[in-house]
C-alpha cells in the first residue's frame, strides 16, 4: 500500500506537470489509449468470459461513470492543489457505503452511519464553504468521487461473476471508447514529450492498481486502509517542494478525519464478514 500511494502520487504529479496545455478530456483519452498496451494480455480472458447482455450493459454503465469521473479528475488537477485532490479522493469509499445502502439494500448500522457523517464533516473541513473561495476544481472533485463510487458499486456486483482480468480489461476498453468523442471535441495538437508524460501516467496507474491488488491479497482492509493516509503526506510534500503549493493544515486535518472514518467503515465491514462466514472447524495442515 505504501508503493500504491507512491504510484498514484506519481500519476497526480505527472498530470499536474502536463497541466492545462492539453484539455482534460483529451489528456484522459490519451492516457487510456496509451495504456491499452497493458490490456493485451487480458483479451483472451475477456473472449473466454462469453459475457451476457446484462453484463455488457453493466460494463457500459461502469465505463460511462468512470469516463465522467476521469474527465473531472483531470480537470480538477489543473485547478486545485495536489493535496486537496488527494484528500477529497478519500471520499470514494464513503459514497460507496451510502450508495450501497440507498440503491443495493445494504444495511447502514448507526456506528457506520456515524462514520459516514464524520467523513462528510472531514470533507467540509477541507472545502470550508463560506470561509474561502471555492472554484470549479473543488466542485469537480466532489462529483469525481461520486462518479467513481458509482463505478465501484457496479464493479462490486460484477466481481462475483467474472475474473479480475476481465473487469480491468473491460474498464480500460469502455473508458477509452467513452472518452473518444469528448477528446475529439476539444482536440489540440500534442508533442512527443507530452505523449511520453501521458504514457508514464498510464504506467504508474497500472503499477498502482497492481500493487494495490497485491496488498489486498496480503492483508485485510483494516490493515491496508490506514496506510493510504501516507498518500496525502506524499502529496503535501510533492505539492510544496515541486509545484510551490502551500501546506494547508485544514486539508491535512480533513484528510485525517476522512481516513479515520473510512478505516472504521472498513473495520466494521471486515468484522461483519467474519460473523457471517465463521472460520472452518475441520483439521488444518
User: In this predicted model, what pLDDT tens digit does every residue of 57-68 receive, in sequence order?
Assistant: 999 999 999 999
CA pair distance 202, 184, nearest whole angstrom: 20
pTM over 0.75: yes
Q: Are the C-beta atoms of residues 66 and 151 closer than 8 Å to each other?
A: yes
Q: Are the C-beta atoms of residues 123 and 88 closer than 8 Å to each other?
A: yes
Q: Which of 113, 112, 152 is nearest to 268 (CA)?
A: 112
pLDDT greater than 50 at residue 179:
yes
How confident is the model at residue 195, as a pLDDT? 94
How confident is the model at residue 279, as a pLDDT? 38
pLDDT greater than 90 at residue 105:
no
pLDDT greater than 60 at residue 284:
no
HEC string of 210-265?
Answer: HHHHHHHHHCCHHHHHHHCHHHHHHHHHHHHHCCCCCCCHHHHHHHHHHHHHHHHH
Torsion of CA 150, 153, 158, 160, to 10 degrees: 170
Q: What is the mean pLDDT of the chain?
A: 84
Mean pLDDT of 112-140: 86
Higher pLDDT, 239 or 186: 186
CA pair distance 189, 17, nearest whole angstrom: 17
Amino acid at each position: 500500500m505504501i508503493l500504491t500511494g507512491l504510484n498514484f502520487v506519481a500519476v497526480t504529479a505527472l498530470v499536474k506537470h502536463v497541466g492545462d496545455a492539453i484539455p482534460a478530456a483529451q489528456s484522459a483519452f490519451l492516457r487510456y489509449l496509451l495504456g491499452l498496451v497493458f490490456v493485451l494480455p487480458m483479451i483472451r480472458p475477456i473472449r473466454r468470459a462469453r459475457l451476457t447482455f446484462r453484463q455488457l450493459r453493466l460494463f457500459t454503465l461502469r465505463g460511462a461513470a468512470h469516463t465522467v469521473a476521469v474527465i473531472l479528475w483531470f480537470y480538477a488537477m489543473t485547478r486545485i492543489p495536489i493535496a486537496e485532490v488527494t484528500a477529497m479522493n478519500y471520499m470514494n469509499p464513503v459514497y460507496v457505503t451510502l450508495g450501497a445502502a440507498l440503491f443495493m439494500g445494504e444495511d447502514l448500522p448507526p456506528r457506520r452511519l456515524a462514520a459516514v457523517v464524520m467523513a462528510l464533516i472531514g470533507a467540509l473541513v477541507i472545502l470550508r464553504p463560506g470561509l474561502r473561495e471555492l472554484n470549479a476544481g473543488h466542485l469537480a472533485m466532489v462529483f469525481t468521487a461520486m462518479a467513481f463510487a458509482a463505478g465501484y458499486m457496479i464493479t462490486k456486483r460484477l466481481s462475483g461473476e467474472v475474473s479480475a482480468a476481465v473487469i480491468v480489461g473491460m474498464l480500460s476498453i469502455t473508458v477509452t471508447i467513452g472518452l473518444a468523442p469528448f477528446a475529439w471535441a476539444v482536440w489540440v495538437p500534442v508533442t512527443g514529450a507530452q505523449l511520453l508524460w501521458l504514457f508514464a501516467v498510464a504506467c504508474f496507474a497500472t503499477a498502482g492498481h497492481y500493487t494495490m491488488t497485491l496488498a489486498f491479497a496480503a492483508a485485510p482492509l483494516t490493515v491496508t486502509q490506514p496506510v493510504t493516509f501516507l498518500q496525502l503526506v506524499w502529496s503535501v510534500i510533492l505539492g510544496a517542494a515541486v509545484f510551490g503549493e502551500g501546506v494547508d493544515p485544514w486539508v491535512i486535518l480533513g484528510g485525517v478525519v476522512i481516513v479515520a472514518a473510512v478505516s472504521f467503515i472498513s473495520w466494521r465491514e471486515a468484522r461483519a464478514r467474519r460473523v457471517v462466514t465463521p472460520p472452518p472447524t475441520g483439521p488444518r495442515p
